[in-house]
Amino acid sequence: MKLTAGLGFKTAHLTEALTAQADGLWFEVHAENYMVDGGPRLAALMALREARPLSIHGVGLSIASASSPDCHHLARLARLVERTAPFAVSDHLAWQRWNGVHHADFLPFPRTRRALTRVIANVGRVQDALGRPILVENPSLYVDLPGHELTEVEFLTELAGASGCGLLLDVNNLFVSAHNLRLNAKAAIDAVPGQFVAEIHLAGHSLDRDSPLIIDTHAAPIADPVWALYARLIERIGPRPTLIERDDHIPAFDVLMAERDRAAQLLDARETIHA
Amino acid sequence: MPDAAFERRFGAALLGLEPVADATLARALAIHRNTAFKAAEEALADNYPVLRGLCGDEAFAACAHAFVLARPPAEPRLCFYGAGLPAFVANWPPFQNTPWLADVCELERLAVEALFAADAIALDGAAVAARLDPDRALTLHPAVRFARFASPAGSIWLAHQDEAPEGALEAIAWRPEAVVVTRPGDSLMVEPLDPAAAALLEACVAGASLRTIAAASWVGDDVATAFSALITAGAFA
């Protein structure tokens, strides 16, 4: 099956997800929610896996940490990947583990040459443990740290080239980062190395009440400027499996499917024009 | 600057352990902190819905926030987060006059463990009988959890489920309860046990052989009924 646009899977939507009729529909789940020994949640995922292609999206590898990925976490990820045989496995260009605490967000770091070497090594460890390449996602940034030696695009391009990983381009994260760091979003999307992009994420963001920043909340529909950047990206690099993410204020399944269908139509139009 | 040193400084600033002069950086840190706290607090709300219902959203949020500060997640699987919440709730000053909240919290913890425990086929009566060996312990299903509470925690939990009959809360007899948590047919089951079934399950959990159980002083005519109740609950594998 050719993959078009997919949806972040919610357990409450299982029946609708199993019976949804849409060409190329696929689902993505957060890996950590299914790193369990058994039970109904895992059984629901296995049923979904039988019906539709699946992508496993990690939110906990902490691949930009100064230390190596946690071996227990990596073993659990490997077990889940073995169980579900997903078409893609991904996580973020960020760190989360510090001083025995797992910080459940994606923290920034100075993109130095030294950091690049470290992330290449960490991605290599993950790929060795899984026996397959992973995709690495650009995070939302809220502050321009001092000490960068590479831009995000340079960093991701070198990472993909050296480690063999692919890129998961989150268009909303790119928009949020560009707004917050006062960069040109169009220039940023045009600089994305299309040859490495294997998946795209689309999500909603929210305005910060206490500052001019915008926050990557996944709590709203996808904003128009993000749709425009998405159309601009696939116009240039071609269609890619595209995920609609929503993790808060989750609407009914058909509302999410309507957003998903909009992405599917853009993908389809892109293919038709260039056929 | 070496990377570990950056993490140490950023991590300390994130937790508010170090002052941050730059307003832009301070706001960015606050956003990262809020996002992580929200995720951890939502995980607690997901894992302890009955406690939340009993004490109310506001009181729960205050307790959960204090818990996340004191015991932040140690690993990325937030579906398991909050193992220390029952002990924290037991010592949380606003709940000192409602000690049963800690019991219900403990029961909800057992429910989380049961929900994500390994799969196994629960044995019916014939299958249990076929495998009986008087000198060995019966094998419990991986999802089985057992606890004794000073309050009717099991009945309180049941009365707060969607399918609870009307008046279930008012009908609760206020007394200690022994409760089994299981997962027959892959859906969660919480059931208060009568004294015989509780004693039997407790002996099984302790790994007692059938011969030991048969000789125990608490065994009476009701042991067959107790076995039957545990088999129906899917307690053996």
- pLDDT at residue B114 is higher than 60: yes
| pLDDT the model gives residue B1 | 52
Using a CB-CB distance cutoff of 8 angstroms, which residues of chain A are in contact with residue B115? Answer: 39-41
| pLDDT the model gives residue B19 | 84
* Averaged pLDDT score across all residues of chain A: 96
Please report the DSSP string for chain A in residue order.
----EEEE--GGGHHHHHH---TT-EEEEEGGGG-SSSSHHHHHHHHHHHHS-EEEE-S---TTSSSPPPHHHHHHHHHHHHHH--SEEEEESSEEEETTEEEEEEE-----HHHHHHHHHHHHHHHHHHTS--EEEPPP--S--TT-SS-HHHHHHHHHHHH--EEEEEHHHHHHHHHHTT--HHHHHHTS-GGGEEEEEE---EE-TTSS-EE--S-SPPPHHHHHHHHHHHHHH----EEE---SS---HHHHHHHHHHHHHHHHHHHHHH-
Q: Do A213 and B1 touch (CB under 8 A)?
A: no
pLDDT tens track for B134-172:
899 999 999 999 999 999 999 999 999 999 999 999 999
What pTM, to 2 d.p., does this model score? 0.94
Which pLDDT band, with edges at 50, 70 and 90, does A267 fall under?
A: very high
Using a CB-CB distance cutoff of 8 angstroms, which residues of chain B are in contact with residue A215? Answer: 31, 35
Q: How far is A153 from chain B (nearest CA, A)?
A: 20
Q: Between A39, A99, A143, which is nearest B116 by CB? A: A39
| pLDDT the model gives residue B3 | 84
pLDDT tens track for A131-190:
999 999 999 999 999 999 999 999 999 999 999 999 999 999 999 999 999 999 999 999
For residues B100-109, average pLDDT: 98
- pLDDT at residue B70 is higher than 80: yes
pLDDT tens track for A12-57:
999 999 999 999 999 999 999 999 999 999 999 999 999 999 999 9
| pLDDT the model gives residue B2 | 61
Q: Do B115 and A213 touch (CB under 8 A)?
A: no
| pLDDT the model gives residue A275 | 61
Q: Between B7, B40, B78, which is nearest A98 by CB? A: B7
